[in-house]
Each structure stands twice: as C-alpha cells, then as structure tokens.
Structure 1
C-alpha cells in the first residue's frame, strides 16, 4: 500500500525509498480525477477562481498542539485535499480489523466473496493480475465492458449489466469467490 506525505504544501507518494511528487504519478493522469500540480495551495481545482495567494496552509505543528479545533477556531471554512484515511481520522473512527465471515454469521465452510474493481490505472491492474495469479484457480472472473456501459445504446448497456449480474449471481450461488472488473482500457467521454 502506498504512503502519502505532505511536506511544505507539496503532496508526495512514497515509492520504495523515494518520495515522488503526486503530479508525477499515474494518479495525476487519471482521466476523471487527474491533476497537474502537487502543490496543495494551487489554483487548479478552482480553475483560477480562488488564487493561491488567498489560500492559507495550516501547519502540522498547529494541529499537533491544538488539534483540528485550533484551526477551525480561526473562523475559517476549510477544504481539505487529502488521502482517503483523513475522513476516519478527522471524525475519530477507531480502526478495526477486517470483518471476518464469523463476524457476519457466515458458516466457515461456505464460500463466495465478491470483489469489484473499477479503477483502470496500472497499479490497480497490477493488483488484479496478482490476485488472478494467486487465486485464479478458484476465482470466477467477470469483465464488464466499459465500452458497452459508456459508449453504446441504453439497450446494450442494460444487456451488459444484466449479463454480468446474472453470471455473478450464479457464481456466488455456487459459493465461488467472484471478481467483477471493468475492462482495462480507458474510455473517455466528450467532456474529458
């Protein structure tokens, strides 16, 4: 799993022994959520509507000494550009161990987990390939055509959804672990 760091308002992704500016990663080139700047004070997300000079940065020292309240007491509203773990940390959710079948009242002999993968980025594709390598012999693999979902007629879209849903239901009903993944090619709409 990647580790993320923000140092003097620049967002980095740890890659082995290196810190890579976020703008130099595959995530920055994502067709839907991409970005050009690692600087968190940048004007990019507001398309210049809010100039970087009017954005304030809250230091880690202020947060360590006074917590989130120390920043919020200044009477400001905050937009936080962060990693996914921020939300649970901010609202105080205590991390839990992954849910086990017994926690859900599922019999140990029963199988049939569902794995859904939508991201097409190379890192996700690499994870899917590793999953197939390690578990492919007992994993039912179902690929959803992004082309049919996004670029074809409503009828073809519904047929594709129904096809995959029916196959997944059969597989899960037979107590097989099932992987549903989007096709790996990037398809962009007219707005991108």
Structure 2
C-alpha cells in the first residue's frame, strides 16, 4: 500500500511540544542507574555522526574490546564496515564480535548492551546481523533476549518515524522510505515504509507486523513512561519493538522507560540509527567544529577529498563542489576494473597526479566515474565483489600518498570506512565532533599513517546540496 508524502509543517504541528528541561533532568537521573557498557557496532563509519569524545576501534579483537571496557566512557564504537560485506562475511564477523564481547565482559565482570547501528534509510544486513549477535551471545552466556528495538530516527539527516511509517525528508516534504532511491538499493532493497511491515518483509514473514509492539508518539509526548515500560516488559520471543520519533526528546522518554525495563531483568537487542547512541551514551550537545579546532598543523600542502558514493544527494553535492575555485578535480575511471592492466595504469595515474597537486598546495577532489557499473540483475554478488576491488583501489590512493594532506574528506560510508581502516591504518580514533549536522570528524590515533589528522567522514546521503562545497572551502581558506 502506497503511503502519501506529508508536509513537514503539517506533521510537526500535530504533536504537543515536550518539556525538554524535565525530560533532560529525568534521563540524566535514569542513566546513572544504567550500569552497563554500551558497545555500538557500526556497519559503516557514519554512525558516530551524533557523538563526540568517544572512541572508535577498527578491529574487534578481544584486546581492543577489552580496552573499550576499561575506558571511563560508558560507550565505545566498533567499526565493522559490514555494509560492504557479503552475507557470509558479515555472519562470520558478527559471530566473532559477539564471542569476543562476551569474553571481554567476563574478564571485566561487566554487563553490556549491544547496539547494531545501521543506516537511517534502512539499508544493510538486517535481520541477519542482529540474529547472529543474539544467537552467539545466548550460546556463550546466560543472557536471553526478549526483543529487538527498531529505532531508525535520525534528526540530523531528516529521518523520522510517524504513525509507524519511516520517512525521509526532502526539503519541506516527508517521503515514505519505501518510495525513495534507498529502497531500490541493488543489494539491500525493500518495498515497505511501515516499519512493522518492513521488519516482516525483511524477516520473510518470521515476525508479523500485527504482533509487534509499537511505541507511539502520543504516549511519548504524554510522557506516559509507565505505559511504555509495561509495553517493553510484555515483549518476548525476540519480537520487534517499533519506536516512533520526530525529536531527541522522544528518544529520551523512550530510553527512560527502556532503562527501567532493563533494570527489571529484560534484555533487548537494538537496530538503530545514530540518535539512540547519543541518548543512551549520555553524550552532551556540542557546537559544530571550527577550522581552528580541526587544522592543528601549519602546512602548505593541499587537502584531499575522495568521492565514492553514488547516491543522488552525493551527485548533487559533487556538482555543487565543481563550482568551487579552490579545488582541482581528478576522475578515476573505475570501470576499467574489468581490464586489470588498464585499471592498474589508471590507478597509478590518479596517485601520481594527486601527490603532485597536494605537494603544490592545491586541494584535490578524486572522484570515481559517476555512472554505476551494472553487470545485470542476476549478478548482484559479482557487483558487490567488484565494488570491493574498486574500494580497495580508492583506498590505496591514500595508502600510497607520499605527502601529508592538510585534511582528508571521504564521501560515502563504505569509502570512508575503507580509507580510515586500510588507507590511514587507524586502529583507534577519537570522534572530535561534527563539522556539519550529521557529518562526523575523526582525529586519527598515533598508530595511523597521518597521526592526529582531521578525517571528515561525509555520509553519502546526508547534508544540504551546498554542504560539501562549504566544508571544503572552510578547510581550504587560510
């Protein structure tokens, strides 16, 4: 059934304004009684787009997870990059991660909660990842999960859940997620916008929409915490809990009830976007980062922008960036991946040109050929494997840099993950904050190729049309 678009103004005027001061006071009190380490598994690096001062580990060894448990912060992230994995690869990875979390938790005698942070436009290996996590944790501990929380609200990116339907904001309109370009993703496509129906569709009917629990905006705005808590206490058999939200206050009210349910013995798995992590981690608001905060080195070198994402918003932002006079553009013809020798020559050309321009003090935008490589409808796995080869080549541009750029910006989730882990060789980064709403910045660790560099992780599907150009120009103005 098709759901109509809705105007932002009409929807938001329907709900009474929350008492944000009271809610803030209540959530802070409740978080003091939530004595668990929160481990966020991020299927690409953009999940830190709401937090700051938080560690991101790029591997899931027991030692790394052990370090996370020993931090003072209540929360840490593990970057899985699993949105770029095959189903078999993500199954193996999540089995390892869950087993290592249980081992590290037992070492530290600490309870934990796992949040599987996925895309706010509903793409990714769902329900595979959370099912593997559930099965592995239950097999290796005495924990039994009662249910799974689905909360894809992400205000900074214009993703709202209203009347159980998930919407993506385009200017002044809210478009049902199932009717956007994201629903047509070749690997992770879907048809439903109603989150219960979406979960039923993705689980191939294992969970039925009419049997799920729905946390309404009406009860959240009425602050009917007892009712919401009771709804959560009634959840069993790993059934799904759909959380409506149009503002952080809705997530905060829900979290108050959630913590109370946890403290009465309930266990939940989570598939959420980035907003829930900020609330459950008790992360404060922070102003957008300034150029002075990000550019610690006095350098005459240029900066580097790498554009890999092909979603519509990235293409629009790229076209806007082309209007800038402070950037030199280098196209990488990745379609040559089908001709290995030509592909190697093309990569060498791009690397040499990029090094030369950065050394000359020029800002460089390397972009992959804008037309998608299409092998046909029945070859999705082959396309995914070729995309990995392309991503490896894009990553090697950074790996082979001989000069330190003034900054690095990566556009697109998988692109930014591969550049962070493989190109920059980051093992642990700290989230400095955001340069624009929903656009996070890492400060790289001492072990990385360029220690302490500001690395801007620019999601493919986030930001205004002018954001990319404005960010580049801000960082490039001395």
Normalised-by-shorter TM-score class:
0.7 to 0.9
CA shift for structure 1 position 90 = 4.0
1:46 aligns with 2:203: yes
CA shift for structure 1 position 178 = 1.1
Cross-structure match for 1:191: 380
Q: Report the Cα distance in structure 2 between the residues aligned to 1:59 and 1:69, rounded to whole angstroms.
A: 18
Cross-structure match for 1:142: 330
Structure 2: tracts of 5 or more residues without a match: 1-155, 221-227, 229-251, 382-478
Structure 1: tracts of 5 or more residues without a match: none
Per-residue deviation, residues 35-77 of structure 1 (Å, max 9, x unmatched): 3221222223334344434543444524516154245456242
CA shift for structure 1 position 128 = 0.5
Given the superposition, is the C-alpha separation of residues 154 and 129 from structure 1 closer, same or farther in structure 2, using an over 3 Å criterion? same
Q: Report the Cα distance in structure 1 between the residues aligned to 2:344 and 2:266, rounded to whole angstroms.
A: 49
Q: Secondary structure at the match of 2:380?
A: coil
Given the superposition, is the C-alpha separation of residues 104 and 89 from structure 1 closer, same or farther in structure 2, using an over 3 Å criterion? farther
1:114-153 alignment, distance < 5 Å: 114-133=304-323, 135=324, 137-149=325-337, 152-153=338-339
Q: Secondary structure at the match of 2:169?
A: strand
Q: Report the Cα distance in structure 1 between the residues aligned to 2:367 and 2:276, rounded to whole angstroms.
A: 27
Q: Report the Cα distance in structure 2 between the residues aligned to 1:96 and 1:130, rounded to whole angstroms.
A: 25
Are the equivalent residues in 2 in contact too, given 1:118–1:181 (CA < 8 A)?
yes
RMSD: 3.0
Are the equivalent residues in 2 in contact too, given 1:4–1:13 (CA < 8 A)?
yes
Given the superposition, is the C-alpha separation of residues 67 and 160 from structure 1 closer, same or farther in structure 2, using an over 3 Å criterion? farther
Report the TM-score, using the length of structure 2 for normalisation.
0.34
Cross-structure match for 2:24: none
Mean CA deviation greater in 32-41 or 44-53: 44-53
Given the superposition, is the C-alpha separation of residues 180 and 55 from structure 1 closer, same or farther in structure 2, using an over 3 Å criterion? farther
Query: How many residue pairs align between the two structures?
Result: 186
1:95-174 alignment, distance < 5 Å: 95-98=286-289, 100=291, 103-107=294-298, 110=300, 112-133=302-323, 135=324, 137-149=325-337, 152-174=338-360
Cross-structure match for 1:77: 268
Cross-structure match for 2:223: none
1:56 aligns with 2:245: no
Q: Secondary structure at the match of 1:80?
A: strand
CA shift for structure 1 position 34 = 3.2
Q: Report the Cα distance in structure 2 between the residues aligned to 1:141 and 1:161, rounded to whole angstroms.
A: 15
